[in-house]
Amino acid sequence: MQETLHYSEQNGAILVQIARRSLESFVRDKQHYQPNLDELPEQLRESGASFVTLTGHGQLRGCIGNTQARWPLAQDVARNAVSAASRDPRFMPVTAVELADIRLEVTILTPPLPLAYAHFDDLCAKLHPNIDGVMLTWQERRGLLLPQVWQRITQPEQFLKAIAYKADIPYRYLWQRPPSIQVHTFQVQHFQEDGYQEPGA
pLDDT score of 53: 98
**Integer CA distances (angstroms), 77 to 26, 54, 100, in order:** 13, 12, 20
pLDDT score of 16: 99
Domains of the chain, each with CATH number or no CATH: 9-110 (3.30.700.20), 113-186 (3.30.1490.150)
CA distance 156 to 54: 25
pLDDT score of 201: 55
Q: What is the pTM of this model?
A: 0.94
CA angle 79, 82, 84 (to 5 degrees): 105
The tens-digit pLDDT sequence of the chain (201 residues) is 667 899 999 999 999 999 999 999 999 999 999 999 999 999 999 999 999 999 999 899 999 999 999 999 999 999 999 999 999 999 999 999 999 999 999 999 999 999 999 999 999 999 999 999 999 999 999 999 999 999 999 999 999 999 999 999 999 999 888 888 999 999 999 999 999 988 875
